[in-house]
Amino acid sequence: MALFLVLLLGLISIVTTLLMVLFSGKMIPYTDANGQVLPGSLSEKSWITINGVEMGMIIKSRDIRKPVLLFIHGGPGMPEYWLNESYPAHLDELYTVVWWDQRGAGLSYRPGIPPETMTTAQLVADTIAVTQYLRQRFRQEKIYLMAHSFGTYLGIQVAAQAPELYHAYIGVAQSVNLMLSEELAYDFMLNYYAADKKNREQLQKAPYGTAAYERIRDQVMHEAGIGTTHKMYSVFTGIFLAVMKHREYMLKEKFQLWQGKAFSQNTTLNAEFRQANLSDLITRLEIPVIFFSGAYDYTVNHHLSEIYLEEIQAPEKYFYLFEDSAHSPIFEEPQAVLKILGDLHI
């Protein structure tokens, strides 16, 4: 009995330690070879009030003198800092990176947020307000704006509305016309699964545009290599477990991420995004524009992104297609991305 109690206490101690590590939520600092925090570095989780709502952000910088880059995540309502652990983008080699969680998402989710404030116009205004905060805090006249997936729907409108605040706009998996993109993805999967009776029958019984399709969409896209990343074949292990294992989120914050995603996707914002065609909204930008797309990206069709960039009038514009990437080239081929950004000098 004594041995059993010793083993049980040992197991409890191990589990408790593991839970403390997994759910502490403490930010991991940048350190040198001796374990000392790098002078001038920053690894911070913080909250500020933006347009009446408390919003959270994670700021990572090896040197706070570097240019600030504001990252506008996808969704609606799906922050992406967690993805940076499994697929390091290394953006902090060039920038002070601000992983801001949008109104109603992740660290910025609160049960009392009025659903009627979840609109495109409001989130564009929020982005500009966050930009103003960062300009003042880091004493930089302009910052860089990078957006991904749904975030590009907001980001390009922000860049058009307030170009004086930004050095350049970087659209990763630039959205254009979501409805057309989704139809093209469905057609692609019907062909891809031609020899896979189970998945093909699933798709045929759940055509694009139905609730049944929405329930299977993410999984069949990932299995086909056209989801979040080209080699992320499981939504459960690639997304859910990755979030839940992340060391810099408290357990409460991990649940907030899923709550915020559900909340955001049941608002006017999501409806506006799904119905929009950016070709009809934004055709001119006053700052340099860079689009990064993955060759395997059918979540946001890369052909539509490239055609859209051709239509945009801008002082400089660049399109890059990454042959080994799906929806997230900055996470899938980070060194190639960094080289491009470093060489552009914009």
Number of domains the chain is built from: 1
Q: Give one DSSP letter per residue of 16-73, joined into a string.
A: HHHHHHHHB-PPPPPB-TTSPBPTT-EEEEEEEEETTEEEEEEEEES-TTSPEEEEE-
- pLDDT of 77: 95
Check residue 250 and report its DSSP letter.
B
Distance of alpha carbon 262 from alpha carbon 104, whole angstroms: 10
Which pair of tokens denotes residue 164? 């004086």
3-state SS class at 322: strand
Asked whether residue 102 is domain-assigned, the answer is yes
Residue indicated by tokens 């190639």: 336
Range of the structural domain that residue 259 is part of = 42-178+251-344
Asked whether residue 167 is assigned to any structural domain, the reply reads: yes
**Considering the domain boundaries, does residue 187 fall inside one?**
no
> Which pLDDT belongs to residue 197?
87
From the list 50, 101, 27, 95, the residue with the least C-alpha distance to 341 is 95
Collapsed DSSP state (helix, strand, coil) of residue 284: strand
- Mean pLDDT, the chain, whole residue set: 92
Q: H/E element holding 166?
A: strand 166-172
The tokens of 56 are what? 């959270």
Tell me, yes or no, whether 216 lies in a domain: no
Residue 91 lies in a domain: yes
Residue 68 resides in a domain = yes
Per-residue confidence (pLDDT) for residue 22, from 0 to 100: 54
Q: Per the domain annotation, does 235 fall within a domain?
A: no
Q: Tens digit of pLDDT for each residue in 156-201?
A: 999 999 999 999 999 999 999 999 999 999 999 999 999 898 999 9
Q: What is the mean pLDDT of each run of 10 residues along the chain (346 residues)?
A: 47 44 80 92 96 97 97 96 93 98 96 94 98 98 98 98 98 96 94 91 88 92 94 91 94 96 94 94 97 96 97 97 97 97 91
Alpha-carbon gap, residue 292 to 206, rounded angstroms: 31
- As a whole number of angstroms, the distance between CA 175 and CA 65 comes to 32
Structural domain includes residue 294 = yes
Please tell me the predicted confidence (pLDDT) of residue 23.
66
> HSE on the CB side for 167, CA within 13 Å?
16
Q: What ranges in the chain are assigned the alpha helix state H?
A: 2-23, 83-86, 120-138, 150-161, 178-192, 197-205, 211-223, 235, 241-245, 251-264, 268-275, 302-311, 329-332, 334-344
The pLDDT value given to residue 346: 86
236-284: pLDDT as tens digits = 999 999 999 999 999 999 999 999 999 999 999 999 999 999 999 999 9
User: Helix 211-223 and helix 197-205: axis angle, to 10°?
Assistant: 150
- How would you classify the pairing of strands 42-50 and 53-61? antiparallel
Q: Residue 106: which CATH number?
A: 3.40.50.1820
At 78 the three-state DSSP class reads strand
